[in-house]
A and B are shown apart, each in its own frame.
Chain A
Amino acid sequence: MTVAGVRFANPVIAASGTYGFGEDYNELYPINILGGISCKGLTLEPREGNTPPRIAETPAGMLNSVGLQNPGVDTFIEKHLPFMQKKGGVVIANFAGATIEDYVQTAEKLEQTDVSMLELNISCPNVKEGGAAWGVTAESAAKVTKAVRAVTKKPLMVKLTPNVSDITEIAKAVESEGADCVSLINTLLGMRIDIKTRRPILRNNVGGLSGAAVFPVAVRMVWQVANAVKIDVVGMGGIMNAEDAIEMMLAGAKAIQIGTVIISDPYAPLKIIGGIEHYMNVNDVKNLSEVIGKVEKWQ
């Protein structure tokens, strides 16, 4: 199957931020089992991230506020990309920035590499510089997409935030400026408070909600976006098993990304890939195109 013209061995991609650069999980199984890996969100300069605690349990999910801790795009290219290219499936470089110039300069550096696809992150909720500000209005999303599009010929995926009133407007805006596909949803902004200390559990006070709890929201948004744009849609948000993956595809996702489930179960990618194959066998599905976007809505 292909997404934005890039061929994937299977539709399961590790979501940015949950799989690092693949090195840590390659100790457990060959990471090329996955269709692809979206690397930890990169910035122009290295970032130390937010002060811990950066994670909290929630009903059927978790909050995180890592704050884009990453070694910077140069170190990624030098130290981590060679490993991903040698050991992994499709390499997707996720990147974020504070300013248009940050985005453009990072994209220019990635353009010089053999990365297969860029994922423009305009949706990290945890830092001011994480791009979420760019992702909340159609105008700013269009502006940053246009600027990055101008410096890269690589397939460009734009990762959208659900923390907006109408996500289809943002999707249409980035499509009109040359995005080859969109991925959604990033985390939903959330908060938890310790009732004994009366302090937020996260040192950052707020963080991004992910996991099973967000799945129905993600399905709804993927469905809306898939019906609003012509470009490919990559669905993510709370996919915990192969059934969820199929549901996300029925909503319109051509491929899926998984994240939080890997934190719970490192073997989740294998289980989901195997489960999708099993579903295809049992239901006599020859090609996933028979599933993608095939939900029949009630009139």
Chain B
Amino acid sequence: MYKCGAYPVIEKTAISAGIYSYEILCPDMAELAKPGQFVHIKIDGFTLRRPVSICEIDHKNGALRIVFEIRGQGTAKLTALNVGDNIDMIAPLGKGFTLPSEIHPNKRVVLVGGGIGVPPLLAIAKVMKESSTAILGFRSYDRIILAGDFKRADSHVITCTDDGSVGFRGAVTTPLAQELAKGDVVQVYACGPEPMLKAVIEECRRNSVACEVSLEERMGCGVGACVVCACKTESGVRRVCKDGPVFDGNEVIL
């Protein structure tokens, strides 16, 4: 079940160069939303909507937070919206992450995010709190986003940068391997560039730990009708917007 309509922006922040955070007051959407789902935004003057993952779900205030990067003319125009302006969106869409039925400090989950793939994982951290470890990878110190938000959610944060300017130097898979070696991780969730997802799936397979990945694809309708956004899985071609964007790491063929 999803809704479609225009809802007011209640908070706008530029959190890094070209990366924006919006909080949108949309109680009927927030009530339905789950971590890993996305909103599909109409931008004036553009035919196609832009899918943006849900970063935080505020059930108390009936709000959703989205964090997106300027990718082209459409997302650039989206940043023209200010607090009080309405944002036209369809949400919540897609199949989100499968969260563990019980939250236990000895059954940890690991969140692996790369760059603009980090935002949807925050919604999981908000639920899993100290039972979660967030391994967040960025190009360099000035590209880091949301690390403070994960810490405030009581998630254990491991920051990685490609150039070593902050935290662990190198790929997220090295700290991931270290975390998995501890033996108490029951589930890994990942979102980021495809090579990172491949490496994470491989690492999880080696350690026999369940892994879910969130994919990105150019979309049309966003609700499953136009079958524009396809991905290959062990059980055939699936729609990223409706059957995903979250897929079982052992199912999806990247």
* A-to-B contact residues, CB < 8 Å: 17-20, 23-25, 27-28, 40, 48-49, 52-58, 60-62, 64, 66, 69, 211-212, 260, 262-267
**B227 contacts chain A at the CB level, 8 A cutoff:** yes
Q: Which of B4, B217, B237 contacts A267 (CB 8 A)?
A: B4
Task: For the complex, give the distance between the alpha carbons of A283 and B218 in Å.
Answer: 42
* B-to-A contact residues, CB < 8 Å: 1-4, 42, 46-49, 74, 90, 217-221, 223-231, 236-237, 242
Which residues from chain B contact A55 at a C-beta distance below 8 Å? 48, 218-220, 228-229
B48, A263: Cβ atoms closer than 8 Å: yes
Quick one: closest B residue to A21, CB to CB? B225
Given A57-B47, A264-B42, A267-B4, do A49 and B227 touch, yes or no (CB 8 Å)? yes
Given A64-B228, A66-B227, do A54 and B48 touch, yes or no (CB 8 Å)? no
The main secondary structure of chain A at its interface with chain B is: loop
- Having A28-B3, A54-B228, one finds 4 other A-B pairs with CB under 8 Å, namely A49-B227, A52-B218, A69-B227, A266-B90
B220, A20: Cβ atoms closer than 8 Å: no
B226, A53: Cβ atoms closer than 8 Å: no
Given A52-B231, A264-B42, do A25 and B220 touch, yes or no (CB 8 Å)? no
Which 7 residue pairs across A and B have the least CB separation, nearest first?
Answer: A20-B225, A24-B224, A24-B225, A24-B223, A53-B218, A55-B228, A48-B237
Rounded to whole Å, the gap between the CB of B201 and the closest CB of chain A is 19
A64, B2: Cβ atoms closer than 8 Å: no
A52, B227: Cβ atoms closer than 8 Å: no
B2, A62: Cβ atoms closer than 8 Å: no
Rounded to whole Å, the gap between the CB of A56 and the closest CB of chain B is 7
Task: For the complex, give the distance between the alpha carbons of A19 and B219 in Å.
Answer: 14
Quick one: closest A residue to B241, CB to CB? A24
Which residues from chain B contact A211 at a C-beta distance below 8 Å? 47
Rounded to whole Å, the gap between the CB of B42 and the closest CB of chain A is 6
B47, A24: Cβ atoms closer than 8 Å: no
Task: For the complex, give the distance between the alpha carbons of A53 and B218 in Å.
Answer: 6
Q: Which of A52, A57, A265 contacts B74 (CB 8 A)?
A: A57
Which residues from chain B contact A19 at a C-beta distance below 8 Å? 225
Rounded to whole Å, the gap between the CB of B76 and the closest CB of chain A is 13
Q: Which of B2, B218, B223 contacts A54 (CB 8 A)?
A: B218
Given A263-B47, A263-B48, do A18 and B225 touch, yes or no (CB 8 Å)? yes
A266, B227: Cβ atoms closer than 8 Å: no
Given A52-B218, A53-B217, do A266 and B47 touch, yes or no (CB 8 Å)? no
Q: Which of A24, A52, A260 contacts B230 (CB 8 A)?
A: A52
A-B contact pairs, 14 of them (CB 8 A): A20-B224, A28-B4, A52-B218, A52-B230, A52-B231, A53-B218, A54-B230, A55-B220, A57-B46, A57-B74, A62-B220, A260-B47, A266-B4, A266-B90
Task: For the complex, give the distance between the alpha carbons of A247 and B221 in Å.
Answer: 26
Which residues from chain B contact A17 at a C-beta distance below 8 Å? 226
